[in-house]
Structure 1
Amino acid sequence: MGASSSIPTDPNQRVQVIAAGYGRTGTVSTALALERLLKGPVLHGGSQLLVRDDKYCKLWLDAYKAKDAGDKKKTLKLVKEATAGFVATADVPPVDFIPELMELYPEAKVVLVRRDPEKWWKSVVALTSKATPWWLDVAMAPIPGWRYIPAFMRRFSKSFLGLAGVSDDKASPAELIERGGPFLLVAHNRRVRSVVPKRQLLEMELREGWKPLCQFLGVRVPKDPFPRANDAKAVDEHAARIFTRVLQVWVGIFSTTAVVVYTGWWLWRNKQQSLIRAWKSLKTMDVRKAFGNVWKSIRLIDLRKSFGRVWNFFKPANIKKSLGAVPKAVWPESKKPVVEHSTGYSSIWLE
């Protein structure tokens, strides 16, 4: 981990070089050198996992699952998708798929960087202890892409132990430190030699610089010095950025939660106070007396008498009597037609 991540822009580019050295063998320097020589994006696995989205990270985890399940066709498909557009690969996860990469890119050249196994193991232990605290799963959970880092650390541990013939689906970084050792690098290098044809394999040490690498790739030696990335320093810088980002995310989560909780408590408290006030108001009222007064008011109205009058009006005899008081037409000879109302009131002439 630690290289600046390259993002592919042309999906038609194919992998030309596979840097097969395991993590902590100078993979950052190797990736930078290949990017300089091949003039294209290099897939440095550790760096890609820190900057890519959930979809890309899950793509590699699915490739691991397919390989564990023995589904070669699916494994090749996923690895091809994950490496599309890159001109070279380095670091994990790619180094765990060297046989698949050789099948997908049969003309690719392979560079195996050697390192003293004892120094290598001390570096691995230091990185693993620093990068896998007990709270990592919880801390990374809300962060896209990074939420898969704990799963990758467990998967890398399983791959490491697999080099020693140890098969454990629940392998953890802690178990790797306990059961691993310098022999793991020896086993990895041996496996690379067994799957890569000699004519396509270069073994070198970083202190040799540009010359062996450029001769192997058939390119000119750059005037620039060979990249000397400090992996340990790069990891520390990445760790600092990760910690800062995680802290920002969780501060935001806790702040939002605090606001929501306080708002809910405030609303609940005010609702409770409103209910208490309403109850006290009801207690101060003589409800029975109030409803009794309403009933008395209703009783003051003689409903039967009022409805009786209405009923009497609508009796057939009374209706006939009422209809008898209709206007009578009178036609005086010297006047226009008028209507005389004989309803018991004074006669009204309408002209």
Structure 2
Amino acid sequence: MAEKTTNKGRKIIVAGLPRTSTTSLKKGLEVLGIGPCFHLGDPPAPIRRVKESAHVLAIKDTALRRQRLKQLYDEYGAVFEPPASTLVDDMLAIYPDAKVILSVRKDPNVWLASYKGLGMDLRSRAYRWSGYWVPGVIHSSNLISAWAAFYERKFDMAAKDVPSVELYHRHNAWVKDIVPPGQLLEFQPSMGWGPLCEFLGRELPAEGTPFPWVNEAAFLRNVIRTAMAVGVVIWLVIFGTAWVLFLQVPQRWIA
């Protein structure tokens, strides 16, 4: 693998929605020597990064949001997932000469099934409360909640329509509309190295090097289930301890 670049080169913004093979694309960029990469879905993501990303995405003030985005991403050569893929216009204002890769799926219905295949909606009260005491649960829930709220406002969509096939089409159309000519590549791993290397001005990897294929869905499902299971155990311990302590209180104090 070639040496990684630094953030002194052109920023690469991967503008595709989550579950559009962004982890595979990240591995592909790393093979080309591009990095470091900022990708929240590539485990293990530091909790601090998830917390900061959730906070930035929820900021309404444009100037402050862009200031925090720059602080979040300046040291990285390539950035993926929300908030970067959601705030593409802000990112281009900060990095006007950035290369933008719109990661896509062949079929938006397959994309939607892949997204929903992760299981529990991280915005739900069940997820937030069951895993309340587990590090990272509230921050990940806040991130997805802010991500969904952004699209509800931007495209005037109902909460139930985020995610949806309509969101997929509207987001992709918006990205294509705002990225200057020559700075955008629509890409999926099945296209192979050629279009990506040409777009980024990189040499092709050694002959026979396959394009990486990574599907972290099973891992993410297990993380969500484990967080909820651990959270339930913690709640049981808390309530059990409280009950034991209550039984030890002299009855005359209760009466």
Structure 1 residue 11, shift from structure 2 partner: 9.4
2:23 to 6, 20, 28: 28
CA contact (8 A) 2:12 2:77 kept: yes
Is the partner of 2:79 in helix, strand or coil?
Answer: strand
Corresponding residue number in structure 2 for 1:164: 155
8 Å CA contact 1:17, 1:87 repeated in 2: yes
Q: Secondary structure at the match of 2:68?
A: helix
Q: RMSD of the alignment, in Å?
A: 3.0
Aligned to 2:190: 207
Partner of 2:205: 222
Aligned length: 245
Shift in alpha-carbon separation, 1:126–1:160, aligned structure 2, 3 A: farther
Identity %: 25
Instruction: Kindly indicate which of the two structures has a greater share of residues assigned to helix.
Output: 1
User: 1:63-212 maps to which residues of 2 (within 5 A)?
Assistant: 63-66=56-59, 68=60, 71-115=61-105, 116-127=107-118, 134-162=125-153, 164-166=155-157, 172=159, 175-176=160-161, 181-212=164-195
Which of 48, 53, 62 aligns to 1:60? It is: 53
1:293 — aligned with what?
none
| Relative contact order, higher structure (CA 8 A, sep 6+) | 2
Secondary structure of the corresponding residue to residue 186 of structure 2:
strand
Aligned to 2:221: 239
The Cα shift of 1:235 comes to: 2.0
Amino acid at match of 2:149: K
Where structure 2 has 5 or more consecutive residues not aligned to the other structure, the ranges are none
TM-score (norm 2): 0.81
Report if the CA contact (8 A) 2:15-2:85 is conserved.
Answer: yes
Correspondence 1:35-50 to 2 at 5 A:
35-47=30-42
Q: Secondary structure at the match of 1:203?
A: strand
Aligned partners of 1:11 and 1:84 also within 8 Å: no
Counterpart of 1:200, as a letter, is Q
Contact 1:102–1:108 (8 Å) recurs in 2 = yes
Match in the other structure for 1:346: none
The amino acid across from 1:31 in the alignment is K
With over 3 angstroms needed to count, the CA separation of the structure-2 counterparts of 1:26 and 1:162, relative to structure 1, is: farther
Structure 1 contact 20–95 (Cα < 8 Å) conserved: yes
Map of 1:307 onto structure 2: none
Map 1:271-282 to 2 at 5 A: none
Query: Within the alignment, does 1:258 sit opposite 2:240 as a pair?
Result: yes
Ranges in structure 1 where 5+ consecutive residues have no aligned partner: 1-9, 273-351
**Aligned residues of 1:161 and 1:184 also touching (Cα < 8 A):** no
